[in-house]
Chain A
Amino acid sequence: MKTTAKTTGKVTGIVANLVIVEVDGPVAQNEICYIHHGEIKLMAEVIKVVGNKAYTQVFESTRGLKPGNAVEFEGHMLQATLGPGILSSIYDGLMHDLHEMTGVFLKRGEYTRALDPERLWDFTPLAQAGDTVEAADWLGEVMENSIPHRIMVPFVFEGKYTVKSIVAAGQYKINDTIAILTGKDAKDHAVTMVQYWPVKKAIKAYREKPRPFKLLQTGVRTIDTLNPITEGGTGFIPGPFGSGKTVLQHALSKQAEADIVIVAACGERANEVVELFVEFPELEDPRTGRKLMERTTIIANTSNMPVAAREASVYTAMTLAEYYRSMGHKILLLADSTSRWAQALREMSNRMEELPGPDAFPMDLPAIISNFYSRAGFVYLKNGHTGSITFIGTVSPAGGNLKEPVTESTKKVARAFYALSQQRADSKRYPAIDPIDSYSKYLEYPEVQETLKKSVANNWVDDVMLMKNILIRGKEAAEQINILGDDGVPLDYHLAYWKSEVIDSIILQQDAFDRIDSNTPMERQRYMVDKVLKIYHTDFDFDTFEEVNPYFKRIINQLKQMNYSGFMSQEFKRFEEELENIIAERKVKS
């Protein structure tokens, strides 16, 4: 931005973490500055400029800060440090490495480096001298936890460059020069393995962003089958406390078939983050057999950490995802919870005495949310490779009421909606995703339907729609039975209800804590869907309604045992055989 001497200033006002600074030179919106406080410096971001006064939000406690304290402006916005070593790290919202900090308590002003400058990486060149390159082109690669990490032409480079020289394969540190690029102006630029990017700007170094068309398997049946998420898709999970948001997000982070998973723990419980980094180094990724932590990066800005950094944390996470997408990887980005981020915006807007929007949130909240979600997506890179960011955020609606600004704003942009229902959670029907209220717009995309036909089954989409209908009819039947009593309705009502119960119990409900049931591959999901739909299409013979309940409980029990057994194992087949016998008992012979 600026090349001249740094702007400086001094503190003139303090309200909680809003600090007003009188400046002696130019400042930019969102520019980073450091406020001196005794021995330490506190990081802050400019959020408003009025005349020679810069309003800054401090990413730390402002206790003890005094008017007159000196401030230095850095000339750049909040930026992420991009290079090998990001995977397996645990960062705070501003990308400081939490493991590098000393002591049990976080210290104000202790800012640790994001990447290890001493670590040696095995570099292999991909480009050669004489190549013409532009921003995000791959110059070489290093293996980061066995995932290829491409060293790219920095995203800030504009126009075309010629590779003047590139180092030979060998071991290098991140700050070593690995290539010299010559620009149009004949100037030489040294490129290292590290680059910086302002987190609030999207990295757009790709050729094209088509509509998502490919299923992203999560192993969670109620998502994959009923309301699928796509590679590069966006989804959100609103739900009251205790409805299983976190368990579901953890399941997604463990099971989704992504190359890389980035988790932004934004303003949530610290013990939940502890669970991730206690378990992930132990758990295996079923696809690669390697530890989950190797493909995961956690941005931990828990609820007791500085509020302003909460907002930064989701942007930092998104920037890391965009960086890896440019390398041709499939990224799953999870943010728990975006409501806390919106609350951080509300606190600041309030301190700046802006006119409030609904529920005292800032007026531009919908724009901020839609802008953020739009950074996800499936892309074709300039070199023909593909990459994707699938983004799923949780929302914590106040009082569990979905008619509140954050939920409503998110609903406008996210294409898949997973409504967690208190009622399902209360009756221990987990995951508590309501099958009727939830939706996935992707199911309506012709290109998604096309790939589902090819990859799952020809009549798959029709089957899914049929199941949704059966569930709706089952719910209606249950309501009638409740009002009129068991013997007050025709027998068909009981059948409609129990046939939907089969789908609910076998396809929707899933034991997140069982080794086998927790993760169902698509092939297996298809098999079980065929199975339950066959039962749906079967005509059964009953004399009285009293026979229906125990009979279907037996069917459900057999199917459940199948869910708990290894797919196509001896055990599985035995339960299946018993199931067929039970079905034959009452099947109407045609």
Chain B
Amino acid sequence: MSGTAFQKIYTHITHITKATCTLKATGVGNEELALVHGRLAQVVKIMGDHVTLQVFAGTEGIPSNAEVVFFNRPPVLKVSEDLAGRFFNAYGDPIDGGPAVEGEEREIGGPSVNPVRRMQPSELIATGIAGIDLNNTLVTGQKIPFFADPDQPFNQVMAMVALRAKADKIILGGMGLTNDDYLYYKNVFENAGALDRIISFVNTTEDPPVERLLVPDMALTAAEYFAVDKNEKVLVLLTDMTLYADALSIVSNRMDQIPSKDSMPGSLYSDLAKIYEKAVQFPNGGSITIIAVTTLSGGDITHAIPDNTGYITEGQLFLRRDTDIGKVIVDPFRSLSRLKQLVIGKKTRSDHPQVMNAAVRLYADAANAKTKLENGFDLTDYDQRTLKFAKEYSDKLLAIDVNIDTERMLDTAWELFARHFAQAEVGIKKEFVDKYWPSHT
């Protein structure tokens, strides 16, 4: 990006901190972009004729007589169909060697949807993963994060979900992705032959952290273009939102703001909500669904970042390694999709809610039996059977390598019920038992 001709050039910076610099300038608008010593910056504070700029790439090496040029506009993204299949950096500049995208300029971080114009989400997103489709069904227009420890394979699961979901466009917002993970996504998408419906905005660990702050807004501006202008179903992947929040805290710290819980800025909730609430079902059929990753430190969900996220998003997904089967599963206890009620048993087979609850309840009984076993108490016959059931349930349904449709998941659950339990022990409504209980086991 560069300035246009006939712009006033300032050359006297009065204050420089690690992330910001301040100079005397007039006629400057709030949140306007500027170029400081060739680096992109944004106005974050105006006091009389003193303008403070946040320099995205950091201020290392910027001299007090550096050239500052204002752009007279906030950050924009050029939107058109040509975005599809391309990789960009946080500023929306191509990083795949291709040409710049031509199109209409849209301000990023635009206005919110009027709540009365929203439609109630009602369309199911099938992923083939039973831990999601069966127990925590996703719906278009939903926003949901994976709460995962850094060593868990959340990027693989996200890529898998993205490819299997029947979305018209998949937009990847990568924040602080390692170069390896960036290349992983690129490869997976290329190999799947899905590149033409994927758009990526990537800030890797090699890039300055503050640049990350632009990534969600860039990704969501592109998403709004496809969902509103083209009536498409758009899936936005944001990874890793914890690194985004860390960047927020860096900036607020440099601006001498008083930190609240866990050194996070007091506005963390609003900052995250502004991003996540972009998930919406539009009346014209287009939708934006957000699947994000929030990495945890030692599984602690009371930290300010996952805590605020949990209050904003419509549920959360937890991954866990099941040592009994040696595979990663979607944890049925801690995971929750708040919007599943809108589709299960309505868009899926009518026995879905009851089968889901029965299976999780029996799985919980197995967990109790396990505790009993560990504490040295005797197991009953029922306890033994729940343990066998739990192992198969984990392997055939919860494991993330499962890829079957919902109907097959329900049938599998019925088979497992029949193999290990009597009808009364499963406790499902009689009309469903009569219809689906396998006659042979």
- Check B330 for interface membership: any CB of A closer than 8 A: no
Q: Which residue of B lies closest to A99 (CB)?
A: B116
Chain A residues 53-67 with CB under 8 Å of chain B are 61-67
- Check B6 for interface membership: any CB of A closer than 8 A: no
Given A62-B30, A360-B258 in contact, is the A396-B311 Cβ separation under 8 Å? yes
Query: Nearest chain A CB to B64's CB is how many angstroms away?
Result: 23
Given A90-B116, A271-B118, A346-B260 in contact, is the A106-B111 Cβ separation under 8 Å? yes
- Check A210 for interface membership: any CB of B closer than 8 A: no
Are B302 and A14 in contact, CB atoms less than 8 angstroms apart? Answer: no
Are B118 and A270 in contact, CB atoms less than 8 angstroms apart? Answer: yes
Which of B107, B110, B112, B118 lies in contact with A274, CB distance below 8 A? B118
Given A241-B310, A270-B113 in contact, is the A303-B339 Cβ separation under 8 Å? no
- Check A267 for interface membership: any CB of B closer than 8 A: yes
Are B277 and A304 in contact, CB atoms less than 8 angstroms apart? Answer: yes
Give every chain B residue within 8 A of A241 (Cβ-Cβ). 307, 310-311
Are B29 and A343 in contact, CB atoms less than 8 angstroms apart? Answer: no
Most chain A CB within 10 A, of B30, B112, B283, is at: B30
Kindly state the separation between the CA atoms of A94 and B358 in the bound complex, as whole angstroms. Answer: 46
Kindly state the separation between the CA atoms of A214 and B278 in the bound complex, as whole angstroms. Answer: 44
- Check A459 for interface membership: any CB of B closer than 8 A: no
Are A105 and B303 in contact, CB atoms less than 8 angstroms apart? Answer: no
Interface string of B306-335 (1 = CB under 8 A from A): 011011101100000000000000000100
Kindly state the separation between the CA atoms of A370 and B158 in the bound complex, as whole angstroms. Answer: 46
Are B120 and A63 in contact, CB atoms less than 8 angstroms apart? Answer: no
Are B273 and A303 in contact, CB atoms less than 8 angstroms apart? Answer: yes
Interface 9-mer from B82-90, B184-192, B239-247, B264-272: B264-272
Are B336 and A302 in contact, CB atoms less than 8 angstroms apart? Answer: no
Query: Nearest chain B CB to A33's CB is how many angstroms away?
Result: 17
Interface 9-mer from B8-16, B42-50, B405-413, B432-440: B42-50
Give every chain A residue within 8 A of B350 (Cβ-Cβ). none
- Check B228 for interface membership: any CB of A closer than 8 A: yes
Given A64-B74, A67-B46 in contact, is the A399-B302 Cβ separation under 8 Å? yes
Q: Which residue of A lies closest to B275 (CB)?
A: A304
Q: Which residue of A lies closest to B119 (CB)?
A: A274
Are A65 and B29 in contact, CB atoms less than 8 angstroms apart? Answer: yes
Which of A16, A64, A303, A486 lies in contact with B29, CB distance below 8 A? A64
- Check A159 for interface membership: any CB of B closer than 8 A: no
Are B116 and A98 in contact, CB atoms less than 8 angstroms apart? Answer: yes
Are A64 and B30 in contact, CB atoms less than 8 angstroms apart? Answer: yes
Which of A13, A240, A271 lies in contact with B121, CB distance below 8 A? A271
Most chain B CB within 10 A, of A66, A98, A99, A486, is at: A66
Chain A residues 273-319 with CB under 8 Å of chain B are 273-275, 277-278, 300, 302-305, 307
Query: Nearest chain A CB to B255's CB is how many angstroms away?
Result: 9
Query: Nearest chain B CB to A53's CB is how many angstroms away?
Result: 10
Chain B residues 67-114 with CB under 8 Å of chain A are 74, 107, 109-114
Give every chain B residue within 8 A of A359 (Cβ-Cβ). 260-261
Which of A16, A105, A513 lies in contact with B110, CB distance below 8 A? A105
Interface string of B38-57 (1 = CB under 8 A from A): 00000011111100000000
Kindly state the separation between the CA atoms of A90 and B114 in the bound complex, as whole angstroms. Answer: 11
Are A307 and B267 in contact, CB atoms less than 8 angstroms apart? Answer: yes
Interface string of A251-285 (1 = CB under 8 A from B): 00000000000000001011101110110000000
Give every chain B residue within 8 A of A26 (Cβ-Cβ). none
Query: Nearest chain B CB to A558's CB is how many angstroms away?
Result: 15
- Check A108 for interface membership: any CB of B closer than 8 A: yes
- Check A5 for interface membership: any CB of B closer than 8 A: no
Query: Nearest chain A CB to B339's CB is how many angstroms away?
Result: 7
Interface string of B340-373 (1 = CB under 8 A from A): 0100000000000000000000000000000000
- Check B27 for interface membership: any CB of A closer than 8 A: yes
Most chain A CB within 10 A, of B121, B260, B282, is at: B260
Give every chain B residue within 8 A of A300 (Cβ-Cβ). 115-116
- Check A104 for interface membership: any CB of B closer than 8 A: yes
Kindly state the separation between the CA atoms of A98 and B277 in the bound complex, as whole angstroms. Answer: 17
Which of A64, A66, A343, A426 lies in contact with B333, CB distance below 8 A? A426
Say which size band chain A's interface belongs to: 35 or more
Kindly state the separation between the CA atoms of A498 and B405 in the bound complex, as whole angstroms. Answer: 42
- Check B257 for interface membership: any CB of A closer than 8 A: yes
- Check A340 for interface membership: any CB of B closer than 8 A: yes
Given A269-B314, A346-B260 in contact, is the A399-B307 Cβ separation under 8 Å? yes
Given A67-B26, A67-B48, A270-B277 in contact, is the A398-B307 Cβ separation under 8 Å? yes
Kindly state the separation between the CA atoms of A52 and B270 in the bound complex, as whole angstroms. Answer: 31
Are A343 and B266 in contact, CB atoms less than 8 angstroms apart? Answer: yes
- Check A51 for interface membership: any CB of B closer than 8 A: no
Given A277-B116, A485-B377 in contact, is the A105-B31 Cβ separation under 8 Å? no
- Check A25 for interface membership: any CB of B closer than 8 A: no
Query: Nearest chain B CB to A486's CB is how many angstroms away?
Result: 8
Most chain B CB within 10 A, of A108, A271, A273, A398, is at: A271
Kindly state the separation between the CA atoms of A488 and B267 in the bound complex, as whole angstroms. Answer: 53
Are A269 and B120 in contact, CB atoms less than 8 angstroms apart? Answer: no
Q: Which residue of B lies closest to A304 (CB)?
A: B277
Kindly state the separation between the CA atoms of A500 and B149 in the bound complex, as whole angstroms. Answer: 39
- Check A12 for interface membership: any CB of B closer than 8 A: yes
- Check B430 for interface membership: any CB of A closer than 8 A: no
Query: Nearest chain B CB to A270's CB is how many angstroms away?
Result: 5
- Check A125 for interface membership: any CB of B closer than 8 A: no
Interface string of A87-120 (1 = CB under 8 A from B): 0001000000011010111111000000000000
Query: Nearest chain B CB to A22's CB is how many angstroms away?
Result: 9
Are A399 and B118 in contact, CB atoms less than 8 angstroms apart? Answer: no
Are B114 and A103 in contact, CB atoms less than 8 angstroms apart? Answer: yes
Kindly state the separation between the CA atoms of A233 and B259 in the bound complex, as whole angstroms. Answer: 36
> 29 pairs across A/B with beta carbons < 8 Å?
A12-B48, A13-B45, A16-B44, A20-B47, A63-B107, A65-B29, A66-B28, A67-B28, A67-B46, A98-B114, A104-B113, A104-B114, A241-B307, A241-B310, A241-B311, A267-B270, A271-B118, A271-B142, A271-B339, A303-B269, A303-B270, A304-B273, A340-B269, A343-B267, A356-B258, A360-B260, A399-B304, A401-B302, A426-B333
Residues of chain B at the chain A interface (Cβ within 8 Å): 26-32, 44-49, 74, 107, 109-121, 141-142, 228, 257-261, 266-267, 269-270, 273-274, 277-278, 280, 282-283, 302-304, 307-308, 310-312, 314-315, 333, 336, 339, 341, 377
Q: What 3 A-B pairs come out closest when comparing CB atoms?
A: A399-B302, A303-B273, A304-B277
